[in-house]
Chains A and B, each alone.
Chain A
Amino acid sequence: MQYTLLLTLTLAACFALQSLALRTSGGKTTKSESNFFSSVARIQTGQRGQAETLLLGSSITGRLPDRSAGFAGVANLGIDGGSAADTLRALDRGLIELPPRVIVEGNTLHRAAGQEPGEVARAMESGWFAVGREIPNLGATARPSAFLYSWLMERKHGGPGSGDTAALPTGSVPRIPAKNEAPPLEGADEELAEELAAILRRLESKGCRVTMVLLPPGADADSPKRRIPLAIACRAGVRWWDLTEGLPAGTVEFTDGVHMSPESASATLTSLLAQCAR
C-alpha cells in the first residue's frame, strides 16, 4: 500500500514538474539530442492550434523560430537530417492540416531522391505520434532530455530571436519562374521532381499558397541542391525565391557553416514572412 502510494506521488510530482517546465518554455523545447525526436517534436507541436504559415524543410529550417518565439501564426515543421519531402507528402495525404501558406526549404530536397520515406514519415502514421500530439506531456517536445539539451544549446548559442527582428538585406524577391527555366533532371531526381511538383499543384488548388525557397547558405547553380527545387517550382508554377541572391556576404552568421545563428535565423524568418505574406 505504502509502495503504491509513494509510486503514485512520485509519478504525479514528475509530471507536475514537467508541466511546469513546459509552460515556462512556451509549450515547446527548441532541440533535443536526437534528430528524430527534435523533428517529431516540431511536427507534433506545429499541429497544435491553427497555423497561418507552415515552414517545411530540414534542420536548416528547424533553426528558424516560430510562434513560441513571437512569430505569430508560424509553425516550424523542419525535419533534422531529412527534407521537406516527407512533410509535403503528409500534407498531401491529409495527415497535417493545410494552412493558408506553406514555405518549402529547397536546400535539402535532393536528399529524398531515390530514397524510401524517412523514419519521421513512418512515425507520423503511428499511434504514439497521435497521442503525443494530443497530450503535451507525452509528446517528444516534453522529453526531459530535450529540456536539458535545449537549455545547454541556448546557453551556447543564445535563445531564439524575437518577432521584431529586422529583415535580411536581400537583393531579390519571390517570383514565379518561367517553365523554360527548369533545369533538366534525370533518374531519381526527375521522379522526385515530378512527384513533388504534382503535390504542390494539388496544395495550391486547395487554396494554399506555396513558396519554394533556397535558404542561406544557398547552393551553387549546378548543384542538385538548387537544380531540383528550382525544377519543382517551375513545373508546379509556384513562387521561387533564392534568398542568397544579392545578399551581401557576411550578412548571415552560421554556427557550423550550415545552420544559422539565432539572430540570423530570426532575420531570415522576418524576411520570409514579409515577402511570402504578400
Chain B
Amino acid sequence: MLFNSWEFLILLAVTFALYYAPWSRGRHGKAWQVTLALAASVVFYGWEDPRLIVLLALSAVGNSIATARIIQHKVAGDEAKVKRWTSLAVILNLALLAGFKYLPFLAGMLPFLPASWVEALKGIPLPIGISFYTFHGISMIVDVSRGEVTREGDALLSKGGRFAKGVRDIGFYLLFFPQLVAGPIVKAKQFWPQIAAKRIEDIPWKKVVRALVAGYFLKVFVADNLAEQTVLLTIGTAELSNSGPFFLLPLLYAYSLQIFADFAGYSLIAIGLAWMFGYRFPDNFNFPYLSTSITEFWRRWHMSLSAWLRDYLYIPLGGNRKGPGRTYVNLFLVMFLGGLWHGAEWKFALWGSLHGLALAVERLLGARRGEQRDERETGEQGEARRKQERRLAGPLVGSSSPGSSLPPRVSLLKKALAWFWTFHLVTLLWLTFLMPDIAHIRAFFEGALSGRTFLSGPPVFSLLFYGTAVVLYHAWGWLKEHREAVAAKLEGSSLEPVLHGIMLFLIVTNPGAPQGFIYFQF
C-alpha cells in the first residue's frame, strides 16, 4: 500500500479514529493502541500480497523468542549465553535477508549449480521492506544484549502472558507501518522506551502538518513528476548513445533531485504519521545537497542508515580505533556492504564502494592537512580547534574537513568549489544506482560526450519547474543553518500557512502519475 493511495488514506483515518477512541484512555489503553496499530500495519503490509505477512510474522516471533532468552540470561548474569543467543539471532536475521535478497544473486555466480536450480533461485521474489525490518530485528537483538533496551518486568518476559505481550510489542516495533517498508531505520533503544499509552492532545500538530505537507509535496509534486522524464534514461543503450549532452545531463540532474525528493518525501511522511500516533522517529535527511564533502553528505543523507551502520557495523569492526589503515578499510567495507544492502546487484556494490573510496580519500587528505596545521599551531589554540572538530564529528566517520584559517573570501570560494564538486560527484554516482547495468552507463557517457546539440524540451522544463522546489528547499536549509534568527522568524510567520496553501494546491492540481517509492524496492 502506498502512502499516496486512497486505500492508505482510508486505513489511516479509520486507524487514527479508533486509536484515540474514548476507551483508549482506560487501563488497557496501551494494549489497545499497540494491538490496533499492529493490526493496521499488517493490513498495510499485506494489502498487495497477503503471503508476505507469514514471513513478517516469522521474523517477529523469532526475534521475540531470541529477545526473551537474551533478557532472561542477561538478568541471570550469564553473559556467555547472552552472546550465544545474540549471535544466533543476528545470524538468523541475516540468513532471512540473504535467503530472499542475496541467494538469487549468488546463484547466478555459481557455475556448478544446475541451470534449473539457478532458475528456481532467481525466481524467489523479494519481499517488500525486508531490508528494513531485518535491520530493525538486528537492532532489537543487539540493543537488548548490550543492555540498552530494558523495561520494568523484562525479567518475566519469557513467562506466559508477558511473553505474548513481548511478541506484541516487538512485533509493533518491527511492523509499525510508517517505517515498515522504507524506514527511517529506528533503533530499538530509540523506539522501545516510547511504547506507552498515547493521548490525542499530546500530538504536536504543527510538526505533523509541516512534515506531511513537505513530504507529500516532495513526493507527489516533485519526485513523481520528475520520474516521468528520468525514465528516459533507462530506455536502451542504443537510444542513450545516440542522444546528446543537452538531453542526458538535464535528465541526470533531474534524477539526482528526484531520488532526494522521493526518499526525503517518504521519510517526512513517515515522521509525520509517527507523530500522529505519538511516536518520534529520527530525522533521515538534513538538506544533503548542501554538503561540501562526501563525508558531510553521509551525515545528511539517509542518516538513520548511517547511524545504524555506525552502531552495528563500523564500531564493531573497530571503527577508527585500530589505526589509520584499518580505518580506511573499515570505511570502505561499511560502504561496500551499505551499497549491497540497497540491492543484490553489482551496480549497488559499485555505488557503495565508490562512496567508500571517496570517504577514505577525504579522511586521508583531512588527516594530512590536520598534521600540517598541527605543526603550525601550538598550545591552547590548536587544542581548542581540535575540541571543536571532535564536537562536530559526524555519525559514521568523524570530521574530515578541519577548520580553515583562510581569509573569508578565499574560504567562501573554497567552500563553493567543494560544494560544486560534491554535488556533481554524488549526482554522477547516482548513475550506478539508476542504470540497469554497466552497458547503460557506458552508453550514457557515449551520448553525453558525443557533442550532439539535440535538445528536448520536456526534460529541461521539468528540471527547472520541479527542480526549483528542491533548490528552494535546500535554500531554506541553508537559511536555517546560517541565518538562524531569520529562519526562526519566518517559521512562525504568516508566510508559513501561505506556503503550505500553495504546496497543497500543487499537490492536488499538479501531481505526477502515481509511482511507487524508489526505496520500496530495497
Contact = CB atoms under 8 A, between A and B. Distances in A.
Interface in A152-206: 152-153
Interface in A119-139: 119, 123, 127, 137-138
Interface stretch (B25-33, B396-404, B504-512): B504-512
Contacts of B494: 2, 6
Interface residues of A, number: 32
Closest 4 CB pairs of A and B: A10-B501, A6-B497, A14-B505, A7-B497
A95 interface: no
Contacts of B466: 145
- Which of B229, B494, B501 neighbours the largest number of chain A CB atoms within 10 Å of its CB? B501
Interface string B503-522: 01110111011000000000
Contacts of A15: 505
Contacts of B229: 33
A34 interface: yes
A144 B510 contact: yes
A254 interface: no
Contact of A137 (B228, B500, B504, B509): B509
Interface of B: 6, 225, 228-229, 457-458, 461-462, 465-466, 494, 496-498, 500-502, 504-506, 508-510, 512-513
Contacts of A138: 508-509
A142 B506 CA distance: 11
A71 interface: no
Nearest to B209: A3
Interface in A1-28: 2-11, 13-15, 18
Interface of A: 2-11, 13-15, 18, 33-37, 119, 123, 127, 137-138, 142-145, 148-149, 152-153
A92 to B, nearest CB: 25
B225 A14 contact: no
Contacts of A144: 506, 509-510
A194 B228 CA distance: 33
A255 to B, nearest CB: 11
A9 B228 contact: no
B506 A33 contact: no
B513 A145 contact: no
Given A7-B501, A145-B225, 14 more contacts: A5-B497, A7-B500, A7-B504, A9-B501, A10-B500, A13-B501, A18-B505, A33-B457, A34-B225, A34-B228, A138-B508, A138-B509, A143-B510, A153-B457
B220 to A, nearest CB: 12
A6 B228 CA distance: 33
Nearest to A153: B457
Contacts of B512: 34
A265 B401 CA distance: 61
B510 A11 contact: no
B498 A6 contact: yes
A123 B514 CA distance: 10
